[in-house]
Amino acid sequence: MSAVTPELVTSVQAWLAEDPDPATRAELAATLDAALAGDAAAAGGIADAFAGTLQFGTAGLRGALGPGPNRMNRVVVGRAAAGLAQYLLDTGQAGRPVVIGYDARHNSEVFARDTAAIMAGAGFAARLCPRPLPTPVLAGAILRHGAAAGVVVTASHNPPQDNGYKVYLGDGAQIVPPADAQIAARIASVGPLAGIPRNEAYETLDEAVVEDYLARVTSLVLPGGPRDVTVAYTAMHGVGSPLMRAALTGAGFPEPLAVAAQDQPDPDFPTVSFPNPEEPGAMDLVLDVAAHGRVDLVLANDPDADRCAVGIPTGAGGYRMCTGDEVGALLGWWILERGRRAGQRVTGTYANSIVSSQLLGAIARDAGLPFRETLTGFKWIARAADDLAFGYEEALGYCVDPAGVRDKDGISAGLLVAELAAAVKAQGRTVQDVLDDLARQHGVHATRQVSLRFADLAAIPAVMADLRAVPPAALGGLAVRRAVDLEAGSPDLPPTDGLAYHLAGAPGVAGARVIVRPSGTEPKVKAYLEVQAPVGPAGLPAARTAAAAVLDAIAADVGARLVR
């Protein structure tokens, strides 16, 4: 007997009548037939696809492709575009430009063209990027075009079956509350798709949008500096390769060695199990190219090139990938050092997310610069201060040019890392030497992430509730001296679902911090660990060993608590 209810059949038939996409209509019709014939898997799939509506939030939309209101498809995207258009009209933005970009994922261009037509139909000057491009090109174009808003169709580093819809406002930064809820309310009030006005006479931008972006990025590199650095690079089957190559060579650096199997866009990401540079195995091919080429530096972008991963030599032909916190500290230091070398005083605020290392704050304070911690996500980092000079998050996101791109940018970040590597190479030093210097000056800041993926999303609130009900008294042998429920908010941070544990010190360790929060983009609970250890008379290796041992112990205890 079929598990498909008459009410669900009615909803499916109504969807079929509205869906403009023949592919998703055919998929849904076939699945419904199978479900009605008793196929339990088909019935479960339809039930899930119609179990509510894909929710619009501060990350916009992100989910699996397919038919139904709980999936990414032309109906859901069309309603999102119409709701966004109404929000912009209601906030006095009528007639202004709206810029739309997209990556090379399945259906990205289709969703982008639908958005452009709906924006034009609402009276906006809709401007569509000319081809699949990195997300930071779109983010920068918002500022250069004086746009009311921007949209980029991308699921960043999510699996191949996903796509997403990211919204920026006119300040060039991603949306934050209350705009997300206000847009969501207007999406919910959108009527039938057929009643949404469309105008196909929107403008398709020419290559000037790319040229303007590249001119800005290459101008960031100091003229006349060293350029002798060899790079191995992977685009991770995404859209970053042409622009990363153009940025490096345009700034005078040698052509990078490419991972041929990953250099061209491929929405199926065939050489990686998960197209995220942080995932185990994702960097294997580029590290192999690096080892064979004996390069100075490894760079990788995620599929929409707003993130940048960095690898460095370890000696004897080996390489290791740096953590996002290490790269954040390197870039923060380099921005200051570049200023010193140019005879300029660096001004402005440094910022990173609360789950990132506290090392950048130490670097900023030592330089006399203001520093801000924000909630997780570049929507918050970008708004940390009007005079933001540099911001980063540990998940490989870096903003090195807030005036040009007020978001994370994997192209410009990679270019400045190459500049740093060339500069220290010219002095007979390495990137690792800089990390060692920072540790000696500010102490070792050892960081790690522990995460647990859930098939049942309902289990995530239960984990957080358990931690609130029975907070740990100690982690990794260090007493919890202060526990902070981030849901309460503070003068510096808006409320968020998270818990922070500040741990006491121990011999050889100054202290530690653990922050636990649900992921905003994946079905995970994540814990971010940091141990600080001063470099004493025993030297840097001893401090790193002490920090690593405590980090291991904390990670074991945190992992055990997440699966309770």
- Residue 418 near residue 253, CB atoms below 8 Å: yes
Residue 40 CB-density burial (10 A; 0-12 exposed, 13-18 middle, 19+ buried): exposed
Catalytic, out of 156, 353, 357, 412: 156
6 contact partners, CB below 8 Å, separation of at least 6: none
C-alpha dihedral (59, 60, 63, 65), degrees to nearest 10: -150
**Rounded to the nearest 10 degrees, what angle do helices 208-218 and 410-426 cross at?**
30
Closest to 518 in 3D by CA, of 547, 496, 503: 496
Helices in 6-73 by DSSP H: which ranges? 6-18, 22-36, 40-49
Closest to 180 in 3D by CA, of 79, 284, 83: 83
- Residue 386 near residue 396, CB atoms below 8 Å: no
Rounded distance between C-alpha atoms, residue 485 and residue 499, angstroms: 5
- What's the Cα-to-Cα distance from 356 to each of 277, 384, 497, 512, 530, rounded to whole Å? 17, 14, 16, 13, 9
Percent composition of the chain: helix, strand, coil (DSSP 3-state, to 5): 40, 20, 40
Strands (E), 499-558: 499-503, 511-518, 524-533
Token duo for residue 17: 């009548």
- Residue 249 near residue 224, CB atoms below 8 Å: no
Q: How many Cβ atoms sit within 10 Å of the Cβ of residue 507?
A: 5
Closest to 375 in 3D by CA, of 384, 367, 364: 384
Is 156 one of the catalytic residues? Answer: yes
The SS3 of residue 339 is helix
- Residue 244 near residue 439, CB atoms below 8 Å: no
Q: Edge to edge, what strands does the sheet with 257-258 contain?
A: 257-258, 231-234, 297-301, 308-315, 318-321
C-alpha angle 72-275-132 in degrees, rounded to nearest 5: 60
Rounded distance between C-alpha atoms, residue 181 and residue 163, angstroms: 21
Residues annotated catalytic, as ranges: 156
